[in-house]
């Protein structure tokens, strides 16, 4: 679109629209605080209430861009937020997109169109001081005229005191929009109260006054346990905690994960580890990275399992609970589908799951007393009494004619009996030799209790020999179209959960939106 055309449209809009949207700025104490999805949730919540809503982020640094119907390039996350608001994504929602080209140099996309490549110095010391304010005023002004509500997103932390005078994505944008600010903190790694307090208290007085509330995000457990901390932080900051949002497993891309998947180096072969909710001892898989051309991926979606050349079910703190999870999430069907085509390993709890049955009559591990296993091996595991086996082991693979050493350690409750499948290892424990683990004679399924199984070369060589064998067999191509349809459903799920945990009326009050 030419500049003349753009100006004409802008003019027309100014004449025909007098709306003055109420803005709200969502800031994060760290990156990955969950701002992006919080903005998406608020967009959907207000859209459900009948308001015309737009997301906004003045400046986004991302390699993942999206092209709008009008051919404008914006960050993908703003596209997702626009969908949440049920709006057509437009470049005004993300007027500046920085796409890193190499260290210190980015391509600057302005209103969806490549502008030029700039190094950090030029961008922050020349471009932003001369053009920043005008770009923000323009884009925010446009959205104000065409919406009831604007949900703005900050970038990173607003308290980067070493660069506060040159950044425009956080408090500067809020100031231009006249937006009240709320601060979101991710409690997952702890330190939430310290980050809330530190972020606001380290700012100048005038900036502190822009904050109207805080949100604790990504909490696991009983929110009641936070009560004391919340009261104390409300008192210290003189600001309300507007909600504690529980951890959610929604299938929506976070901005960071989108960037990681983009940058990730691809190995020739992939070992997929099923990302069990109670996964334990995943240091076991560090050694797989020692194999050339192999990358290790943690798989969270059943549909991704088929992209792995080898699939591993790892150890877990609770075999039965995670087996139920495997069943309910559709991983069981995916694993059974791959059986015979893709070699499958089970380590410790994963090994127990591969068998026919797990019996826990005395409810030592869980309330479920008997549960069918995946049935890929013929073992049967029983938890007879509260006995935990913890021992170092040493031995060799039965499949290794050279009997080279493997070593590791066992940590488990329950004992597995398997009189049908051959044992995988011969190990020495307390000066006694015994068989350990099992595999099927077709060499498609393997199970062992040994943590550190892959630490030394023999087990890694076994794994590679299986990949070689398997690559000669044909694999179905991956299908990726299923993703799109799920997004809307997940946005609803997200909005519902946020609405239940957040004081929306208070937020409307902060924004001055009439009910």
Partner 1 sequence: MRKNLMFQSTLSGSGKSLITASLCRHLSNKGYNVSPFKSLNISLNSFITEDGSEIGVSQAFQSWACGREPCHQMNPLLLKATGNSATQLIVNGKPSKGFCSRNDNDRKRLMSIVYDSYEFLEKTSDVIIIEGSGTPAEINLSDVANMATAEMFEAPVIIIGDIDTGGVFAGLYGTYKLLERKHRDLVKGFMINKFRGDPSILSPGIERIESEIGAPCLGTVSYRNYRFPEEDSLSLGGPINPNPLGDDIRDVWLKNLDLFLENMGQEVDFGVLENIIDRGI
171-190: contacts with partner 1 (CB under 8 A): 188-190
How far apart are CB 286 and partner 1 at their closest, in Å? 6
Q: Which of 290, 299, 200, 298 is nearest to 241 (CA)?
A: 200
How far apart are CB 355 and partner 1 at their closest, in Å? 21
Q: Name every residue whose Cβ is closer than 8 Å to that of residue 232 and which is 6 or more positions away in sequence.
A: 193
Nearer to partner 1, 171 or 504 (CB): 171
Nearer to partner 1, 294 or 491 (CB): 294
Can 348 be counted among the known catalytic residues? yes
Interaction residues for partner 1, span 400-439 (CB under 8 A): 409-411
Interaction residues for partner 1, span 99-118 (CB under 8 A): 103-104
Nearer to partner 1, 185 or 467 (CB): 185
Q: Which stretch binds partner 1 (CB under 8 A): 132-140, 173-181, 287-295, 370-378?
A: 287-295
Give the Cα separation of 201 and 106 in Å (integer).
Answer: 32
Interaction residues for partner 1, span 146-165 (CB under 8 A): 156-157, 159-163
Bridge partners (DSSP) listed for residue 24:
151
Q: Exactly one of 92, 396, 412, 451 is catalytic; name it.
A: 451
Give the Cα separation of 319 and 312 in Å (integer).
Answer: 14
Nearer to partner 1, 94 or 199 (CB): 199
Q: Residue 130's CB: how many other CB atoms inside 10 A?
A: 9
Q: Which residue has the tokens 């349809």?
A: 485
Binding residue for partner 1 (CB under 8 A) from 7, 67, 126, 194?
194
DSSP character at residue 362: T
Interaction residues for partner 1, span 457-486 (CB under 8 A): 457
Interaction residues for partner 1, span 437-456 (CB under 8 A): 452, 454-456
Q: Is residue 326 a contact partner of residue 353, using CB atoms and an 8 Å limit?
A: yes
How far apart are CB 436 and partner 1 at their closest, in Å? 15
Binding residue for partner 1 (CB under 8 A) from 279, 334, 462, 464?
279
DSSP reduced 3-state for 220? coil
Q: Residue 286's CB: how many other CB atoms inside 10 A?
A: 12
Nearer to partner 1, 20 or 405 (CB): 405
Interaction residues for partner 1, span 35-94 (CB under 8 A): none
Interaction residues for partner 1, span 305-364 (CB under 8 A): 317-318, 321-322
Binding residue for partner 1 (CB under 8 A) from 21, 29, 504, 507?
29
Interaction residues for partner 1, span 208-267 (CB under 8 A): 221-222, 225-230, 232-233, 260, 263-265
Binding residue for partner 1 (CB under 8 A) from 363, 392, 433, 465?
392
Q: Name every residue whose Cβ is closer than 8 Å to that of residue 340 and which is 6 or more positions away in sequence.
A: 442, 444
Binding residue for partner 1 (CB under 8 A) from 10, 30, 240, 327?
30
Give the Cα separation of 471 and 269 in Å (integer).
Answer: 9
Q: Which of 375, 381, 382 is nearest to 356 (CA)?
A: 375
Binding residue for partner 1 (CB under 8 A) from 19, 209, 388, 434?
388
Name the pairing type of β-strands 310-313 and 344-347: parallel
Bridge partners (DSSP) listed for residue 390:
411
Q: Which stretch binds partner 1 (CB under 8 A): 60-68, 387-395, 435-443, 498-506?
A: 387-395
Burial class (CB in 10 A: 0-12, 13-18, 19+), 184: buried
Q: Give the dihedral of Cα atoms 15, 134, 140, 177; nearest 10 deg.
A: -120
Q: Exactly one of 348, 396, 412, 479 is catalytic; name it.
A: 348
Burial class (CB in 10 A: 0-12, 13-18, 19+), 451: buried
Phi and psi angles of residue 381, each rounded to the nearest 5 degrees, phi first = -110, 135
How far apart are CB 457 and partner 1 at their closest, in Å? 5
How far apart are CB 450 and partner 1 at their closest, in Å? 11
Give the Cα separation of 432 and 421 in Å (integer).
Answer: 22
Nearer to partner 1, 11 or 160 (CB): 160
Nearer to partner 1, 223 or 423 (CB): 223
Catalytic residues: 348, 451
């Amino acid at each position: 679109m030419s500049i003349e055309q753009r100006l004409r449209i802008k003019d027309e809009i100014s004449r025909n629209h007098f709306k003055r949207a109420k803005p709200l700025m969502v800031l994060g104490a760290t990156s990955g605080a969950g701002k992006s999805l919080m903005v998406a949730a608020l967009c959907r919540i207000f859209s459900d209430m009948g308001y015309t809503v737009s997301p906004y982020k003045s400046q986004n640094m991302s390699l993942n861009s999206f092209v709008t119907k009008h051919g404008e390039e914006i960050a993908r996350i703003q596209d997702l937020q626009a969908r949440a608001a049920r709006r057509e994504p437009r470049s005004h929602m993300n007027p500046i997109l920085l796409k890193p080209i190499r260290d210190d140099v980015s391509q600057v996309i302005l209103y969806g169109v490549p502008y030029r490549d700039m190094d950090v110095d030029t961008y922050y010391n020349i471009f932003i001081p001369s053009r920043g304010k005008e770009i923000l005023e323009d884009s925010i002004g446009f959205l104000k005229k065409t919406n009831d509500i604007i949900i703005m997103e900050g970038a990173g932390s607003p308290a980067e005191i070493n660069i506060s005078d040159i950044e425009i994505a956080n408090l500067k944008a809020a100031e231009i929009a006249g937006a009240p600010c709320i601060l979101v903190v991710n409690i997952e790694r702890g330190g939430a109260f310290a980050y809330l307090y530190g972020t606001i208290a380290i700012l100048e007085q005038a900036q502190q006054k822009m904050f109207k509330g805080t949100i604790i995000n990504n909490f696991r457990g009983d929110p009641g346990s936070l009560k004391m901390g919340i009261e104390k932080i409300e008192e210290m900051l003189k600001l309300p905690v507007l909600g504690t949002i529980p951890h959610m497993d929604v299938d929506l891309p976070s901005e960071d994960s989108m960037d990681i998947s983009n940058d990730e180096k691809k190995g020739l072969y992939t070992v997929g580890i099923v990302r069990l909710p109670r996964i334990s001892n995943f240091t076991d898989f560090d050694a797989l990275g020692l194999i050339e051309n192999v990358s290790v991926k943690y798989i969270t979606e059943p549909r991704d399992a088929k992209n792995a050349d080898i699939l591993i079910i790892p150890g877990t703190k609770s075999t039965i609970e995670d087996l139920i999870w495997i069943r309910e999430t559709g991983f069981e069907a995916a694993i059974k589908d791959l059986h015979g085509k893709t070699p499958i390993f089970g380590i410790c709890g994963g090994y127990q799951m591969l068998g026919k049955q797990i019996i826990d009559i005395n409810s030592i591990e869980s309330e479920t007393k008997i549960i069918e296993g995946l049935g890929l091996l013929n073992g049967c595991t029983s938890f007879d009494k509260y006995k935990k086996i913890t021992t170092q082991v040493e031995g060799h693979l039965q499949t290794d004619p050279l009997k080279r050493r493997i070593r590791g350690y066992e940590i488990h409750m329950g004992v597995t009996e398997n009189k049908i499948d051959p044992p995988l290892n011969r190990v020495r424990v307390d000066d006694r030799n015994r068989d350990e683990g099992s595999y099927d004679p077709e060499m498609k399924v393997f199970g062992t209790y040994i943590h550190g199984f892959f630490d030394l070369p023999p087990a890694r060589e076994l794994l590679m020999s299986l990949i070689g064998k398997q690559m000669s067999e044909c694999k179905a191509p991956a299908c990726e179209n299923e993703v799109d349809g799920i997004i809307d459903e997940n946005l609803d799920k997200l909005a519902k959960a946020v609405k239940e945990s957040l004081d929306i009326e208070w937020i409307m009050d902060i924004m001055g939106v009439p009910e």
